């Protein structure tokens, strides 16, 4: 997405970056029975980030393996893998492809297409640039945080008999480290 607005971000470096799953986190949080929350994450994912000369022209693409869901409860994890929730047999991945980056006041937002269970919806994530450094391997490393909220029902994650126990709203939190590609 090209934009006429040019922004400057201290410490920002343009380039192509590969997400380092070993040092990143893809997490979610939902309420159950309306009074408590439980958290989970996905352990297997990959993606690329392209930081353009103008940060607003940057992009991200990511693939998450649905069977890697983990809530630290084996029974709940198996339930989430079933057809009422993620249906990992039929839908082994979910994807995110950005469609644009924009500024809203003092915040950056990344818009994109999130696909879960073959349903694609436009979502917006709040984005934080955490800086650029050098990783243990001597290569440039960039960090981002992103968070937002989705409706699981809009993606066909209806929950079957457990639907009444689990909120429709799912909070998403991402902590991403990525290494610069040659």
Query: What is the C-alpha to C-alpha distance for residues 138 and 120, in angstroms, rounded to an integer?
Result: 38
Provide, rounded to the nearest whole percent, the portion of the chain with pLDDT above 70: 98
Q: Average pLDDT in the 44-66 region?
A: 97
Does residue 168 fall inside a structural domain? Answer: yes
Structure confidence at residue 159 (pLDDT): 82
For the chain, the distance separating the N- and C-terminal CA atoms, rounded to the nearest angstrom, is 23
* 104-140 per-position pLDDT tens digit: 988 999 999 999 999 999 999 999 999 999 998 899 9
Structural domain total, the chain: 1
Q: Does an H or E element contain 80, and which? A: helix 74-81
Query: What is the C-alpha to C-alpha distance for residues 88 and 69, in angstroms, rounded to an integer?
Result: 10
Quick one: 138 exposed, middle or buried, by C-beta within 10 A (0-12, 13-18, 19+)? exposed
CB 94 within 8 A of CB 61: no
Does residue 4 fall inside a structural domain? Answer: no
pLDDT of residue 162 exceeding 80: no
* 75-86 per-position pLDDT tens digit: 999 999 999 999
Q: Average pLDDT in the 167-175 region?
A: 97
- Domain span including residue 89: 15-180
Does residue 7 fall inside a structural domain? Answer: no
Q: Average pLDDT in the 145-149 region?
A: 98
Does residue 2 fall inside a structural domain? Answer: no
* 9-33 per-position pLDDT tens digit: 888 899 999 999 999 999 999 999 9
Q: Give the strand pairing for 140-151 and 107-116.
A: unpaired
| Nearest alpha-carbon partner for 47 in 178, 181, 180 | 178
Does residue 10 fall inside a structural domain? Answer: no
The lowest-confidence range among 5-9, 50-54, 146-150 is: 5-9
Structure confidence at residue 36 (pLDDT): 94
Does residue 131 fall inside a structural domain? Answer: yes
Model confidence at 4, in pLDDT bands (50, 70, 90)? low
Does residue 93 fall inside a structural domain? Answer: yes
The one-character DSSP state at 181 is P
pLDDT of residue 88 exceeding 90: yes
* CATH code at position 41: 2.40.128.110
Torsion angle (degrees, nearest 10) of CA 6, 9, 15, 20: -140
Structure confidence at residue 92 (pLDDT): 98
Query: What is the C-alpha to C-alpha distance for residues 133 and 141, in angstroms, rounded to an integer?
Result: 5
Does residue 27 fall inside a structural domain? Answer: yes
Query: What is the C-alpha to C-alpha distance for residues 62 and 95, in angstroms, rounded to an integer?
Result: 6
């Amino acid at each position: 997405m090209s934009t006429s607005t040019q922004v400057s971000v201290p410490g920002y470096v343009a380039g192509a970056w590969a997400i380092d799953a070993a040092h990143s986190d893809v997490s979610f949080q939902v309420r159950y029975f309306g009074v408590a929350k439980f958290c989970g994450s996905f352990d297997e994912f990959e993606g690329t980030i392209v930081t353009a000369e103008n940060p607003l022209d940057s992009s991200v693409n990511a693939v998450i393996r649905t069977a890697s869901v983990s809530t630290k409860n084996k029974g709940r994890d198996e339930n989430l893998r079933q057809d009422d929730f993620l249906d990992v047999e039929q839908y082994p991945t979910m994807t995110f492809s950005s469609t644009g980056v924009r500024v809203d006041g003092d915040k950056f937002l990344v818009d994109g297409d999130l696909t879960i269970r073959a349903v694609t919806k436009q979502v917006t994530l709040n984005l934080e640039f955490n800086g650029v450094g050098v990783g243990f391997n001597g290569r440039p490393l960039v960090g981002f945080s992103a968070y937002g909220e989705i409706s699981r029902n809009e993606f066909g994650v209806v929950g079957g008999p457990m639907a009444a126990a689990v909120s429709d709203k799912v909070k998403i939190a991402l902590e991403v480290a990525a290494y610069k590609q040659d």
